[in-house]
Structure 1
């Protein structure tokens, strides 16, 4: 078991947040040469490879096979949600929307999670949840309309719907993930081992099974390594090494704002004032919900080791 070290945890956590902050830019650059389906297919391969190396390093292949034999249907459903459905919807949203809008709207998944927890985990919706949702979804509307709330004009209404729809899929995945019995790396690898072939089958059916350009391969490799693979392991390492977990988990609130910096620098996408206002409302809503919400009984699930 690794020794607790808050300084090491902060270094790992900041590294993870920095890498996560670059992926919205990487999505848009990769989608210049790849379709959303192709980006998912190729990045899924790279992510699966990284996670397989991690599971090998942890000597957990026996656990992986045991989990798969015990609950094949569960892991098949999880793989269908993530990576298959979630990233397919998310990448399509990025294909239709400016990066600043897609990444900010996707950040509302924490609010969606609270909504889904009511019917699926039998948790109560508190007054603070309702206030946070009103603030958060108001922020989403500010971003989607570029601040022109009365006109309700969107850059792409289907793109906005897909970005918000991706939060529903992601929240559902994490609720089902509370019932996983294996180590986090094992669970995630099982999802990719079962979900990635679904993507490739769809690519073949859609006639998109072609070798991409070098730019496409490099973009897919970056997304697979730093959105779906290495960054998850860095974050998990940070949480395990932390002596004050809350200080590490709060780092995640830096990510959407850092992301805007990379979007401006590398995509030359002007960041409109409404994005800052809306993102501040969304992040504020999530912080409010997390800090002031009464504690709920933990769902019956294995905690990460």
Structure 2
């Protein structure tokens, strides 16, 4: 019970931090380009993860092995995933990009069929239909019978980010590296690539204290501390479903912060679409909860 209480505390801390990042994204992207934000955040996260690797005595292990996996994994995360995600946030209201990004778990279930040879259950299909109905509501901003999207590229980028994220985790299903070491190695590959892209592209400019601080915040919390807290929660909890369900708390808090801090009015279409997306995720979680419980009891 003590372990479960600790896990819930760590899980709530991670979810609380993740609830703030949509606001941080929008504040930073007000002046910074997605590539500038990505480079700054990745650099901060790489330094944080490196410090933790050294503190835990894992540096020798991290330097010796795992780099073949890190090469392609680092190109996917952080480089491809966050560049596409930040580009989506740059084009869409934060509430829309955030809600669409929550479909990554359903994208993972669909991609697991060809990649891991898993089968879709009837509930998986129902959950997908419900959630992607929510995507349609958000993409059309409530005009569900009108295919003239307000920003089709922004919607495509947001959905593409979910595919990259889901594909990344599926391809890493058999990754034997310790999670913290893997994260640091991936960013060790990603930061030089992002540096080259930045030098060849827009370069890094000073855009004011707020944007710079928001970029550092993203690196520390979205890519860094929240990851460590979530990892600690998963390692301590008796049943994974206990903490995995906490993620449903994040979207409402994110919407409220976007409204209070960024000044985004909450659109009725976003609320309806988000309810459908979370409903689909809930159906998917609900069918898997008994199996998880049996495995851990």
TM bin, normalised by shorter chain, reads: over 0.9
Structure 1 residue aligned with 2:36: 38
CA RMSD in angstroms comes to 1.9
Contact 2:40 2:215 in 1 (8 A): yes
Contact 2:241 2:289 in 1 (8 A): no
Q: For 2:255 and 2:289, locate their aligned partners in 1 and report how far apart those are by CA, in whole Å.
A: 32
Structure 1 residue aligned with 2:140: 145
Deviation at 1:4, TM superposition (A): 5.4
Structure 1 residue aligned with 2:97: 102
SS class of match (1:86): helix
The answer to whether 1:262 aligns with 2:257 is: yes
Structure 1 residue aligned with 2:78: 83
Structure 1 residue aligned with 2:273: 278
Does 40-49 or 128-137 show the bigger shift?
A: 128-137
Any gaps of 5 or more consecutive residues in structure 2? 292-297
Structure 2 residue aligned with 1:133: 128
Structure 2 residue aligned with 1:15: 13
Q: 1:121 is matched with which residue: 87, 94, 116?
A: 116
Deviation at 1:295, TM superposition (A): 8.9
Structure 1 residue aligned with 2:199: 204
Deviation at 1:290, TM superposition (A): 2.3
Deviation at 1:238, TM superposition (A): 1.6
**1:149-198 CA-partner distances (Å, limit 9, x unpaired):** 01233231100000000001000111122121111001111110101111
**1:233-261 CA-partner distances (Å, limit 9, x unpaired):** 01111222323432111111111121111
**1:4-55 CA-partner distances (Å, limit 9, x unpaired):** 5222222211111011000001000000121000000010000001111111
Q: For 1:293 and 1:15, locate their aligned partners in 2 and report how far apart those are by CA, in whole Å.
A: 24
Count of aligned residue pairs for this structure pair: 292
Q: For 1:202 and 1:284, locate their aligned partners in 2 and report how far apart those are by CA, in whole Å.
A: 39
Contact 1:9 1:237 in 2 (8 A): yes
Deviation at 1:215, TM superposition (A): 2.5
SS class of match (1:227): helix
TM-score if structure 2 supplies the norm length?
0.93
Deviation at 1:293, TM superposition (A): 5.0
Contact 1:20 1:226 in 2 (8 A): yes
Q: 2:48 is matched with which residue: 47, 50, 55?
A: 50
Contact 1:33 1:215 in 2 (8 A): no
Contact 1:106 1:164 in 2 (8 A): yes
**1:60-88 CA-partner distances (Å, limit 9, x unpaired):** 112212323xxx33211000000000000
Contact 1:4 1:243 in 2 (8 A): no
Structure 2 residue aligned with 1:92: 87
Q: For 1:168 and 1:83, locate their aligned partners in 2 and report how far apart those are by CA, in whole Å.
A: 14
Structure 2 residue aligned with 1:167: 162
Structure 1 residue aligned with 2:295: none
Any gaps of 5 or more consecutive residues in structure 1? 297-305
